[in-house]
Amino acid sequence: MSAKILSGTETAKEIRAELKAAVEKMHTEHGVVPGLVTILVGEDPASQSYVSGKQKAAKELGFYSVQENLSADTCEKDLLDMVERYNRDERIHGILVQLPLPKHISESRVIMAIDPDKDVDGFHPVSVGRLLLGEEGFAPCTPSGIIELLKRSGANTSGAEAVVIGRSNIVGKPISMMLARKAEGGNATVTMCHTGTKDIAAHARRADILVVAAGRPGTVTADMVKPGAVVIDVGVNRIGIKPDGKAILAGDVDFDTVKEIASAITPVPGGVGPMTITMLMKNTFKSAQMKLEKEGHTNK
Cβ partners under 8 Å of residue 73, min gap 6: 102
Which residue from 245, 276, 283 is spatially nearest to 94, judged by alpha carbons? 283
Contact (Cβ atoms closer than 8 angstroms) between residue 17 and residue 278: no
Radius of gyration in angstroms for the set of CA atoms belonging to the chain, rounded to a whole number: 20
Phi, psi angle pair for 229, to nearest 5°: -70, 155
CA atoms of 147 and 212, how far apart (whole Å) = 14
DSSP codes joined into one string, 205-232: TT-SEEEE--SSTT-B-GGGS-TT-EEE
Query: Rounded to whole angstroms, how far apart are CA atoms 192 and 173?
Result: 8
Catalytic residue among 54, 118, 173, 226: 54
**How many helices (H) and strands (E) are present in the chain, helices listed first?**
10, 11
Backbone angles phi, psi at 64, to 5 degrees: -80, 120
Q: What is the Cα–Cα distance from 123 to 169, expressed in whole angstroms?
A: 8
What is the CB-side half-sphere exposure of residue 56 using CA atoms within 13 A? 7
The Cα 259–Cα 171 span in angstroms is: 23
Catalytic residue among 55, 98, 118, 208: 98
Residue 48 among the catalytic residues: no
Distance CA 175, CA 275 (A): 14
At residue 165, what are phi and psi to the nearest 5 degrees?
A: -105, 110
Catalytic residue among 55, 117, 118, 121: 121
Amino acid at 120: V
Residues noted as catalytic: 54, 98, 121
